[in-house]
Amino acid sequence: MNIEQIMQELSEIKKKLDKLDKIEEEIQNLKQDVNVLKQDVNILKQDVNILKQDVNVLKQDVEN
């Protein structure tokens, strides 16, 4: 192998590493998105529970 071939291979390796870095960054962003969505789901669950309580109160009002 001559120096040019080695330099070319190193350049290809660098490109692949750069792609991997971008993929890792995207994975981290997706993980953050998932965490935000999980928080949103928890908030929605709380809202549903509040609505259930409201329905129960309304049922009691109707019964009385």
Give per-residue pLDDT as tens, 4-35: 999 999 999 999 999 999 999 999 999 999 99
Whole-number Å distance between alpha carbons of 31 and 55:
36
Residue 4 lies in a domain: no
Residue 45 lies in a domain: yes
- Residues of the domain holding 56: 31-63
Residue 2 lies in a domain: no
Residue 13 lies in a domain: no
Whole-model pTM: value is 0.69
Residue 52 lies in a domain: yes
Whole-number Å distance between alpha carbons of 46 and 29:
26
